[in-house]
Structure 1
């Protein structure tokens, strides 16, 4: 008779409370000796959660069971096998019993070689999962109650606020609040989340300001003094940073962009232009001249860091130069019409764009999935520790809320990236769209042109008045 001693531990807290690998191992070996079982093998999963069976030692154990190398499986406690009723029953019925392998649990005194042991197994498996579900429900209910009272529900503090432990309230941080207000202002003036991200990243050092974070900030009601709760928006007791009217205007603008409607702005390329010299924003300016009692005016695109009053300048002025608005816009529209006429040129651009984006997306997706795995593992370890009585739920509730919030953000980011991965039919669809826009360009109104151009172009980078603009295409 060969007995498999399966041992699992998932947290450092368990080790401190006598749940260590060595403690389990010692007790199981003593039990084997008391039963006269001299032939045993150890299968140890160190640091693996009990909410799934995708663990190295467990896989090896199941393989050895299939190979008829094991006749019985012994664990210290039922939840060492798994915390899910479904997994426990699947292991017992589909793997152990199918191969005539009995199962024993030292703590619960379960022996599936007896009818009573089989009956007890099902009952205890139900309680193992019920206990876990109740922990999650208690934490979720506590969070809902805090939101109903207008209090911050926990997790990472939103940018623009700090947390006062004494009053249990969010407090406005003036320096950060000014940046939040400018982010909303830039968004409502036609700037993309990418350009706002670059602007904010140059001014914020204590946290990342990626474009998806900017997008999430725009959508969060916390900035108008409210919270999301069960699909509804409820009042908070904290001070608002953004007034109701501005916040609602930003939501309308966000919906317009999702629907393909142009952002606010008077000019064709408003919000799309960036400086190739310093990475700053591009603004539109007019110059007037007098000749023979006549006034002439010219329109230019120029870097905001160059076209700034000296007293307002915080850094050295950019030297990009003034590019004629008509020349820049003509170049962009000519490119749109050109790639619609020449399929080979379009294919070259499409392959270059998708290759860069796919490589970037694959790397980012891999990083996000790694982060998600770590967060999920941390959460499962905390739930395990609470269930085992090693720590109190109240001691880690804020930590759990923070991790749950992080997980939700990362899951949304992963969904966004997956949606951006081009399918096989995207090339033809993109070509058809560009061709249609190019053919109908002369018949579009100014608003229609602005809407159309934003469907196929992410940004236009300027490299001085004599430099060739670089178009970043949005072709899938």
Structure 2
């Protein structure tokens, strides 16, 4: 049914039915119902109700123990914006595993905004006191089931590792899995590469140089700086396993002797190689390489000169910084001084606000006419995929026993926060209309100029994202700033 506005009355926002699905990796393995099953069931349910205007919100691989999920956050924003009239889930526990979270969503978000809530497999009516009580009971059982799944999965894995058995997952380089004996066995050709990796590291070679050498010796697996780092810390190669932070004896044969492994761990501690943390810096998520169009990462470089230690903070094209053995395929962009790039962007934007209004309007009109939202969306989507891969690799490292979960917790959190930031920018591109005149853009620039020096770092990050869509780093010219001309 199409709702038409009466003369003089603004037409209401067209509302949709939201189909929310979620599955975590643990549940996928234990319970057997995945995203496809949920999607098919909810789609069929929507058709049976006569709903044809639906939108899917999907959280793939996210735990239900908290509400920090991209699709759920997007759903909440759309509910509060009046875009949704009904939310449907496969089961109540898809919404959350904690009773408190579920009830807060139902009462403080859905009910507060006049949104109905339904389950495709559980009959209840949120409009009656009995129905609300039933929801509370189901939420309690959902949390109990979640705790039991984790307990069964975790205790079973720990018990296997305590007995010296490999816990499963991706087969580590240097070994193959004997299905009959149910144990890891050494692959001689790959084991020789592992031994050489350890040898070269102790000889002083960098992880990047070792990665390039290793990649030239094998096509079985991609070898990157990160892969070499993980290989050099895994106790598995010394015939041991990591279990809840403790190293235990494994049943498999070692590739590296214990003395060599211990020397490498000491060398890891000694080295002070530059890291590339994905922190929330001023321009994180806004930078784009002007040569290959890829994402830009933050880099720390430490050097020693005349007996003094120096720390350099830089921005670099990801392809240029994390190179493969094929240097011809690497990007040719240079490293950019972080402080200089940020100072240039801030100064350039502040100077824009001081221009004659006619000159400023001409620049803004030119930006409006040339700005290509498709390029921006593609760059953000590429960054989102890169972040997803990074998170997956970190979880693989934890599962394989290469490192403790506590050691990677902060990095995973930072990546998840950046993922949310990039997703929000993608949502803004979808939701925000283009400005038909430059008045709003001019006001944003003037506000930035007036308030910048009085803002906290976090407030500066937020404001810069309202004004700038992206900053393109070129090798032989100043950064190119693309203004955000969407409301």
TM-score by length of 1: 0.51
Query: Aligned runs of 1:40-439 on 2, under 5 Å?
Result: 42-45=53-56, 47-49=58-60, 51=64, 52=67, 59=74, 63=78, 67=82, 70=85, 77-79=91-93, 81-82=95-96, 84-101=98-115, 103-105=117-119, 107-258=121-272, 336=305, 354-356=314-316, 368-372=386-390, 404-405=399-400, 412=408, 415=411
Structure 2 equivalent of residue 451 of structure 1: none
The Cα shift of 1:44 comes to 3.3
Q: 37, 43, 47: which is aligned to 1:22?
A: 43
CA deviations over 1:331-374 (Å, ceiling 9, x no partner)? xx9x956x99xxxxx99xx6xx8243688579997654131567
Cα gap change, 1:212/1:68 in structure 2, threshold over 3 Å: closer, same or farther?
Answer: closer
The Cα shift of 1:241 comes to 1.0
The Cα shift of 1:55 comes to 6.5
Structure 2 equivalent of residue 286 of structure 1: none
The Cα shift of 1:174 comes to 0.9
CA deviations over 1:278-323 (Å, ceiling 9, x no partner)? xxxxxxxxxxxxxxxxxxxxxxxxxxxxxxxxxxxxxxxxxxxxxx
Cα gap change, 1:43/1:403 in structure 2, threshold over 3 Å: closer, same or farther?
Answer: farther
Of structures 1 and 2, the one with the larger relative CO (CA 8 A, separation 6+) is 1
The Cα shift of 1:48 comes to 4.1
Determine if contact 1:160/1:174 at 8 Å carries over to the other structure: yes
CA distance, structure 1, for counterparts of residue 164 and residue 219 of structure 2: 30
The number of residue pairs the alignment matches comes to: 301
CA distance, structure 2, for counterparts of residue 371 and residue 185 of structure 1: 29
Determine if contact 1:188/1:253 at 8 Å carries over to the other structure: yes
The Cα shift of 1:255 comes to 1.9
User: How large is the Cα RMSD of the aligned pairs?
Assistant: 4.7
Cα gap change, 1:182/1:370 in structure 2, threshold over 3 Å: closer, same or farther?
Answer: same
CA distance, structure 2, for counterparts of residue 211 and residue 417 of structure 1: 21
Structure 1 equivalent of residue 422 of structure 2: none
TM-score by length of 2: 0.50
CA distance, structure 1, for counterparts of residue 194 and residue 317 of structure 2: 29
Q: Look up the SS of the partner of 1:171 in the other structure.
A: strand
CA distance, structure 2, for counterparts of residue 360 and residue 163 of structure 1: 36
The Cα shift of 1:7 comes to 3.0
CA distance, structure 1, for counterparts of residue 78 and residue 384 of structure 2: 29
Determine if contact 1:7/1:45 at 8 Å carries over to the other structure: yes
Cα gap change, 1:68/1:356 in structure 2, threshold over 3 Å: closer, same or farther?
Answer: closer
Determine if contact 1:225/1:237 at 8 Å carries over to the other structure: yes
Cα gap change, 1:177/1:365 in structure 2, threshold over 3 Å: closer, same or farther?
Answer: farther
Determine if contact 2:16/2:54 at 8 Å carries over to the other structure: yes
CA distance, structure 1, for counterparts of residue 384 and residue 40 of structure 2: 33
Gaps of 5+ in 2: 1-13, 24-32, 275-302, 323-378, 416-487
Gaps of 5+ in 1: 30-39, 261-332, 341-345, 380-400, 420-476
* More deviation, 193-202/364-373: 364-373
CA distance, structure 2, for counterparts of residue 93 and residue 24 of structure 1: 24
CA deviations over 1:377-397 (Å, ceiling 9, x no partner)? xx9xxxxxxxxxxxxxxxxxx
CA distance, structure 2, for counterparts of residue 105 and residue 416 of structure 1: 32
Cα gap change, 1:5/1:84 in structure 2, threshold over 3 Å: closer, same or farther?
Answer: farther
The Cα shift of 1:108 comes to 2.9
CA deviations over 1:120-154 (Å, ceiling 9, x no partner)? 21121122233233223322222111111111111
CA deviations over 1:74-128 (Å, ceiling 9, x no partner)? 6564345455544422221112332455545464332222222222211211222
Greater Rg over alpha carbons, structure: 1
CA distance, structure 1, for counterparts of residue 70 and residue 225 of structure 2: 36
> Is 1:7 equivalent to 2:28 in the alignment?
no
The Cα shift of 1:416 comes to 10
The Cα shift of 1:210 comes to 1.4
Structure 1 equivalent of residue 278 of structure 2: none
Cα gap change, 1:20/1:375 in structure 2, threshold over 3 Å: closer, same or farther?
Answer: farther
Determine if contact 1:197/1:214 at 8 Å carries over to the other structure: yes
Determine if contact 1:146/1:153 at 8 Å carries over to the other structure: yes
Cα gap change, 1:60/1:239 in structure 2, threshold over 3 Å: closer, same or farther?
Answer: closer
Cα gap change, 1:3/1:28 in structure 2, threshold over 3 Å: closer, same or farther?
Answer: farther
* More deviation, 366-375/198-207: 366-375
CA distance, structure 2, for counterparts of residue 211 and residue 243 of structure 1: 23
* More deviation, 20-29/121-130: 20-29
